[in-house]
Chains A and B, each alone.
Chain A
Amino acid sequence: MSITCELLNLTSKKAKKSSSSDKKWLKKPLFFLILCGSLVIVLVMFLRLGRSQKEETDSCNGEEKVLYRHQNVTRSEIHDLVSLFSDSDQVTSFECHKESSPGMWTNYGITCSLSVRSDKQETRGLPWNLGLGHSISSTSCMCGNLEPILQQPENLEEENHEEGLEQGLSSYLRNAWWCLILGVLVCHKIYVSHSKARGERKEKVHLQEALAPKKQQQRAQTSSRGAGRWRKNILLLGILGGVSFSVWWFWDTNEEIIMKRRETLANMCDERARVLQDQFNVSLNHVHALSILVSTFHHGKIPSAIDQRTFEEYTERTNFERPLTSGVAYALKVPHSEREKFEKEHGWAIKKMETEDQTVVQDCVPENFDPAPIQDEYAPVIFAQETVSHIVSVDMMSGEEDRENILRARASGKGVLTSPFKLLKSNHLGVVLTFAVYDTSLPPDATEEQRVEATIGYLGASYDMPSLVEKLLHQLASKQTIAVDVYDTTNTSGLIKMYGSEIGDISEQHISSLDFGDPSRNHEMHCRFKHKLPIPWTAITPSILVLVITFLVGYILYEAINRIATVEEDCQKMRELKARAEAADIAKSQFLATVSHEIRTPMNGVLGMLKMLMDTDLDAKQMDYAQTAHGSGKDLTSLINEVLDQAKIESGRLELENVPFDMRFILDNVSSLLSGKANEKGIELAVYVSSQVPDVVVGDPSRFRQIITNLVGNSIKFTQERGHIFISVHLADEVKEPLTIEDAVLKQRLALGCSESGETVSGFPAVNAWGSWKNFKTCYSTESQNSDQIKLLVTVEDTGVGIPVDAQGRIFTPFMQADSSTSRTYGGTGIGLSISKRLVELMQGEMGFVSEPGIGSTFSFTGVFGKAETNTSITKLERFDLAIQEFTGLRALVIDNRNIRAEVTRYELRRLGISADIVSSLRMACTCCISKLENLAMILIDKDAWNKEEFSVLDELFTRSKVTFTRVPKIFLLATSATLTERSEMKSTGLIDEVVIKPLRMSVLICCLQETLVNGKKRQPNRQRRNLGHLLREKQILVVDDNLVNRRVAEGALKKYGAIVTCVESGKAALAMLKPPHNFDACFMDLQMPEMDGFEATRRVRELEREINKKIASGEVSAEMFCKFSSWHVPILAMTADVIQATHEECMKCGMDGYVSKPFEEEVLYTAVARFFEPC
């Protein structure tokens, strides 16, 4: 019980969890994981590709912009110059062109290539020819800058390459990752399948040994537990992997962001540096140009074409060309010898530059300056832009920075820069650019001395660095994000900051070198972001996403693993419980079989002894006790048999026989068996078999009888003192079409409702069987049956107490009765119906019932039986054959007020070959036409219809017409119960010839009719014997018994029936006799014999026969030699005095065919022999 409880619990649990979906469950997250991974990879790839492309286009655009700007600048510059000089002199400007062109000579290659770009300008035609030249020059100036620009793609490429390398690395890393994950997965898969296989193997073993020792189970359990741990470890590993993957991703993306930032910084810095440099160089060039202008127009022309005013104006007007210069000034080289002349010429003294307090000077007024001290030479400023007009007349050589500058400039012939210093007046940090102006054109490879010699003046331009840079930065985008410092790095030990602020993120900075055209001076630009690196959300978000996914998937898998573990555990438990349940079931069956067998054996002893006890001299009391004991013992045995039946059916070991039998005979048997009880209770028992049911059907008669007995027994048990029990058999096909029913009984029954009390056998209301028939599926199934099979519908109707409605559902459950009080009131175990139902199911039928409490119950069942071959008739009937022959053709009149009962009577008469008419009452009989009464052999009157007065009328009618009738019909009274006195009283009146006690059955009826009809003719017992003799005549029979007397008796008995009997007195002798070939048709074998008992003898005989049969079959011995039979099997019947079942079983086991109790009784002998000798 507890097992079944546990099982139930588990199954319900399992049902909830539905283990089948678990595997899918397990697979889904894996799939999901893989999908996520691949998606992420694709995304990352895509992002990266897009980004690099954008960068490239960006850098390209920048380049273009710069180039374009340069061109524009140059163009506008030229335009200015031309506009300035156009009114004065065109030719000079051409000269200028000529002069300047050689300087640009070297850069033709590049200009050519660039001219393609500037084809726009070419198309503009001749007026812009000059412009073209200048454009070339400007570009040539740019060549220095261009080189880095041109190099930039290379640089970029390099960077790209680097990036590619990095990308390659990261992709490699990624691949490695996936390899790792894949590896883990594969490992897991392999392990799982391995463990599964192992588990299966174990399971197999487990199954093989259903009750295997627990050790193995434990091992299996531990293995499964181990697998669970394994899984958990793998899960942990996977989660760790996921976490590290997300960390790696974050790191990777972050790194990328930083890199990109750095790159951007570098780009921006470079751009700034480049622009600054360019701008500077442009100004430088312009200053250079200015120097040449001065040399050309001031020194080249006499008188000078330039004076302070012109210079001022020009410089002012071209100031936009030099946006970086705060001012331009021209100083003349004046040797000391010419100082006075010079001073005189200009009208002012050469003044000395204040160097001591250069840093403090705020507002310098040149008048305040002292005259320059005497020196070798002076460089007084003669022309100055308006912005720096205050330095006119100041000796540039007197300033230390300027002096150095001047010296370097005239030596190199190039623009030279000072180190940054505080500029005069503006007090800003600045540099001064100085160009030397030569009086003659110098060869390109002129020496320093030549240069110094040729120097006639110096052109200086001061650059205000902070404003310069600021102005520049204003022009560029994203100036907000970037902070720029510019340093002079000529002196490596101490950087001089030219521009910059302290703000910004110092941690990261980019340094780009600046080339301002002065090789002796180095400048650098330091860039940094103003703001610190923002939180890299783009890196954090996906990695956190991955982390979350990892944890989610991990959680899901963890749950799945847990569930698998529980399911496995449950499965284990289930298996264990199943094994236990099976073991319990086996034990139960064994117990049942053993116990019932073990009980049966001593019970037989008890019964036998009781029977013997009853045979001894007992007084009435003792006899009563003994009989009670015997009866109880019999009940017990039958109960045990029932239990054994149930066990057999449950285990499916019960098999039905298939022998032809007469159903009516069985029903007669049952009714006669139960008539005693029924009559005691005053219940009317009636049997009706439809004429369409064949005489002989093939099936299991004993089981059929068992079912009927059970049902009828129940009915009797539950019916009290009134009413009837009606057994009817029809073909199932008859019921199928209610409209075309021919059978009178069936018609009436179908027509009646249960509540109508009218036409039932006893007149008491009964439940209409139609209700249960309706539910039979098989009854109405349209499927065509085999032609050699018939389906019978058996109904047992009673007028008992009925079954309570609430108990109707469990009526077929074994050991369940309607309620517990039933067994107290009526006894019984409640197993009978269950067995009956099972048996019916074995007969491919159904069993059902309808019942109404207080009215009665009607049980119905169907069963499929075989149709017997036409020529096989049942031998059992033969003993009645003669009687039936006697009765055939007679006519009878049945007087009964109940139609159905009359039909039953008619049915019984019809079995005897008597045709019957029915009238409902005596009065009717009187009034009905004489012809009907003619030639009546008998009149059967039911007791209910009996009425003395009316009968006397009828009697009179008969006596009156005696003449016309050949014979007076015999009068039978049919009564359910009648005491002997009643019977004799009836008889004595002379009115009635015989009282027949119902239930009507063939044998009873024959007896009665024979006694009455065949006037005085005695029953001839020989007739029956003759039948047996018929069976045994001329048969060779061997009787084996060690007891002489027994032998003689058996011999005598068999001889009586015409058999030829041979007797032997021992098993050995019998063996010798029965060695084939022999002529014996049968053998009766005593069981208990000295030396060789019956069992042993039989076994030996069977062995002999088997050998011979084998030989015949193999053709070793010709069948003719052994004449008549192709296979030998002589029927051997055991003769035994004890009737114990066990002995019977043993008889069958050792090859005996039958069983005859000793001393011989005719009936027993007959039934035993009949099976072997077909009537000839």
Chain B
Amino acid sequence: MNTIVVAQLQRQFQDYIVSLYQQGFLDNQFSELRKLQDEGTPDFVAEVVSLFFDDCSKLINTMSISLERPDNVDFKQVDSGVHQLKGSSSSVGARRVKNVCISFKECCDVQNREGCLRCLQQVDYEYKMLKTKLQDLFNLEKQILQAGGTIPQVDIN
């Protein structure tokens, strides 16, 4: 019984994570990250991801503050924020966020406030989206573990 549930959950997990990849939320780096997690550091991925999200909200806040003022935008600050965001998103494997960051950075380089604001909104949206998705994933993981199963290795390729 339990094993059936576990298998079901495992399949569900697999499908979910594959869908995340396919929809472009995540990329290889996330699996790399997952590989880093082992018995010694069971919550490594979750920890990193939560760090990432905290970082995101913080950075987005500061950036939105910078961009709020219509005429005296500190693009340098925004740029460093975007850079940070890009770096962390690529480290985590948040592909969509990263892509938005790239265009964000371009806007920033040409000091396009409108574009920046748009990108900022997009980043905000994307990261929140990812956050919920990953939350679901972690929940699934937790369920599997509770059910006594192991989290299956997912080969994306």
Contact = CB atoms under 8 A, between A and B. Distances in A.
Contact of A1044 (B55, B90, B93): B55
A1159 B90 contact: yes
Contact of A1052 (B44, B80, B87): B44
Contacts of B52: 1045
A1159 B32 contact: yes
Contact of B38 (A615, A1048, A1056, A1090): A1056
B117 interface: no
Contacts of B84: 1042-1043
The winner among B35, B80, B90, B91 for most chain A CB atoms within 10 A is B91
Those 10 A-B pairs whose CB atoms lie nearest each other, nearest first: A1045-B88, A1049-B91, A1043-B87, A1045-B52, A1046-B91, A1159-B29, A1056-B36, A1052-B36, A1159-B91, A1048-B48
Interface in A586-624: 612, 615-617
A1090 B91 contact: no
B49 to A, nearest CB: 9
A681 to B, nearest CB: 26
A1052 B51 CA distance: 13
B48 A615 contact: no
Contacts of B68: none
Nearest to B52: A1045
A615 B99 contact: yes
Given A1088-B83, A1159-B29, A1045 B92 contact: yes
Interface string B20-54: 00001001010011011110110010011001100
A1053 B87 contact: no
A1158 interface: yes
B41 A1055 contact: yes
Contacts of A297: none
A617 B95 CA distance: 11
Given A1044-B51, A1045-B55, A1088-B83, A1161 B44 contact: no
A1160 interface: yes
Nearest to A1057: B36
A1045 B48 CA distance: 6
B17 interface: no
B102 interface: yes
Interface centre among A615, A1048, A1055 (most CB of B within 10 A): A1048
Contacts of A1043: 55, 84, 87-88, 91
B127 to A, nearest CB: 12
Contacts of B29: 1159
Contacts of B33: 1049, 1052
A331 to B, nearest CB: 164
Interface of B: 24, 27, 29, 32-33, 35-38, 40-41, 44, 47-48, 51-52, 55, 80, 83-84, 86-93, 95, 99, 102
A1055 B93 CA distance: 19
A1041 B84 CA distance: 10
A289 interface: no
Contacts of B95: 615
Contacts of B32: 1159-1162
A1041 B90 CA distance: 14
Interface string A1110-1143: 0000000000000000000000000001000000
Contacts of A1161: 32
Contacts of A1137: 86-87, 90
Contacts of A1052: 33, 36-37, 41, 44, 48
Given A1041-B87, A1160-B32, 11 more contacts: A1044-B88, A1045-B48, A1045-B87, A1049-B91, A1049-B92, A1055-B41, A1137-B86, A1158-B87, A1158-B91, A1161-B32, A1162-B32
Interface of A: 612, 615-617, 1021, 1041-1046, 1048-1050, 1052-1053, 1055-1056, 1088, 1090, 1137, 1158-1162
- Central interface residue in A1042, A1049, A1056, A1160, by most chain B CB within 10 Å: A1049
The B interface, classified by DSSP as helix, strand, loop or mixed, is helix
B90 A1158 contact: yes
A10 B86 CA distance: 65
Interface centre among A1045, A1050, A1056, A1088 (most CB of B within 10 A): A1045
A1134 to B, nearest CB: 14
B87 A1048 contact: no
Nearest to B44: A1052
A461 B40 CA distance: 175
B146 to A, nearest CB: 24
A1048 B90 contact: no
A626 to B, nearest CB: 15
A1123 to B, nearest CB: 30
A612 B38 CA distance: 31
B83 A1048 contact: no
Nearest to A1021: B35
Contacts of B27: 615
Contacts of B36: 1049, 1052-1053, 1056
Given A612-B102, A1045-B55, A1052-B36, A1090 B88 contact: no
B31 to A, nearest CB: 11
A1136 to B, nearest CB: 10
Contacts of B48: 1045, 1048-1049, 1052
Given A1088-B83, A1158-B87, A1045 B51 contact: yes
B32 to A, nearest CB: 7
B2 to A, nearest CB: 24
Contacts of B24: 617
Nearest to A1050: B91
A1061 B120 CA distance: 34
Nearest to A1161: B32
A1049 B49 CA distance: 10
Nearest to B93: A1159
Contacts of A1158: 87, 90-91
A616 B102 CA distance: 11
Contact of B88 (A615, A1021, A1046): A1046
B141 to A, nearest CB: 17
B22 to A, nearest CB: 11
Nearest to B84: A1043
B135 to A, nearest CB: 17
Contacts of A1160: 32
A1088 B86 CA distance: 12
B99 A1046 contact: no
B130 to A, nearest CB: 13
A1007 to B, nearest CB: 15
Contacts of A1046: 87-88, 91
Contacts of A1021: 35
Contacts of B99: 612, 615-616
A293 B115 CA distance: 173
Nearest to B54: A1044
A1021 B31 CA distance: 14
26 contacts: A612-B102, A615-B95, A617-B24, A1044-B88, A1045-B48, A1045-B51, A1045-B52, A1045-B87, A1045-B91, A1046-B88, A1046-B91, A1048-B48, A1049-B33, A1052-B41, A1052-B44, A1052-B48, A1055-B40, A1056-B38, A1056-B41, A1088-B83, A1137-B90, A1158-B87, A1159-B90, A1160-B32, A1161-B32, A1162-B35
Contacts of A1088: 83, 87
A1044 B53 CA distance: 11
Contacts of B83: 1088
A613 to B, nearest CB: 10
Given A1043-B88, A1159-B91, A1048 B51 contact: yes
Contacts of B87: 1041, 1043, 1045-1046, 1088, 1137, 1158
Nearest to B49: A1045
Contacts of B89: 1045
A1042 B44 CA distance: 20
A419 B135 CA distance: 176
A1107 B24 CA distance: 51
A1061 to B, nearest CB: 12
